[in-house]
Amino acid sequence: MSLKYLFVLLLAITYNQVQAQRAAADQLDTKKGKVTLQPVLHGSVVFTWNNKTIYVDPYGGAEAFTGLAAPDLILITDIHGDHADVKTLEAINTSKAKFIVPAAVAEMLPAALKPKATILKNGDQTIQLGIGITALPMYNLPEAPDSRHPKGRGNGYVLNIGGKNIYLSGDTEDIPEMRALQNIDVAFVCMNLPFTMDINQAADAVLAFKPKVVYPYHYRGQEGLSDVEAFKKLVNDKNPQIEVRLRNWYPTK
């Protein structure tokens, strides 16, 4: 067996293993075609729409993105390593990618990536690749100088893709700005103590802004994985119209 053939065989085996472990992608109909929503790992999600690929908080090394197209757009929410993962950014193909980041993340990007970055602060908006992007606050409560996530440093995002609004919470608690959201079609909501919020806070917030679909994500904390089944029950006992989608964000190797 030649070394070249062996390499191709190992690559194929790795590809198939990653594909088998990764949660299946979902699709959302928009006015301009379908958007594919692909859970990847922890807070990482990939969207594909209009022949463009959007990575959010790429994390976990290049292997986590095996079989996915190279990104045209990368959004990063905050400075911590499970969101601004420099090793992963250097490992994946970012040759054509534009970046949307808060200022604190821009400062830590490798020199080769800094020119690709557009900086948004809370409340800023931009349009990239035909996608409307609004940066929102994400922070811990109560607000304190030593907070893990102080207000104004990181961004949550609302993406308008083909007329559909997709919310990405980033690392946040049950803040007024999230409760005030309107017309959200799909929400990705974090829930991991002690870094963000528990399932009760997350459920209360979701019941307040009533997204059509919600994905619990970013739910690994210091004590392991949050009980997302219990989160779903908390939401649907009070509002069965909200579709809670439970997906595997922590594939095993």
CATH number of residue 212's parent domain: 3.60.15.10
Tell me, yes or no, whether 183 lies in a domain: yes
The structure's pTM equals 0.91
pLDDT of residue 13: 31
pLDDT of residue 253: 52
Backbone angles phi, psi at 233, to 5 degrees: -65, -40
Is there a contact between 168 and 189 (Cβ–Cβ < 8 Å)? no
Tell me, yes or no, whether 251 lies in a domain: no
Is there a contact between 118 and 126 (Cβ–Cβ < 8 Å)? yes
pLDDT of residue 164: 98
Tell me, yes or no, whether 252 lies in a domain: no
Tell me, yes or no, whether 209 lies in a domain: yes
Sign of CA dihedral 161, 166, 172, 177: positive
Tell me, yes or no, whether 253 lies in a domain: no
Tell me, yes or no, whether 203 lies in a domain: yes
Question: pLDDT digit string (tens) for 37-57?
Answer: 999 999 999 999 999 999 999
Strands 224-225 and 220-221: antiparallel
Tell me, yes or no, whether 110 lies in a domain: yes
Is there a contact between 70 and 95 (Cβ–Cβ < 8 Å)? yes
Assign 105 to helix, strand or coil. Answer: helix
Assign 234 to helix, strand or coil. Answer: helix
pLDDT exceeding 70 applies to what percent of the chain? Answer: 92
Q: What is the 3-state secondary structure (H, E, C) of 125-136?
A: EEEECCEEEEEE
pLDDT of residue 21: 81
Question: pLDDT digit string (tens) for 52-98?
Answer: 999 999 999 999 999 999 999 999 999 999 999 999 999 999 999 99
The total domain count for the chain is 1
10-residue mean pLDDT profile of the chain (253 residues): values are 36 37 94 97 97 97 97 98 96 97 97 97 98 97 86 97 98 97 98 94 98 98 94 98 97 72
For residue 213, what are the domain limits?
Answer: 3-244
Tell me, yes or no, whether 91 lies in a domain: yes
Q: Which long-range contacts (CB under 8 A, 24 or more apart) does 107-115 make?
A: 108/79, 108/84, 109/84, 110/86, 113/89
Q: How far apart are CA 170 and CA 1, in angstroms?
A: 47
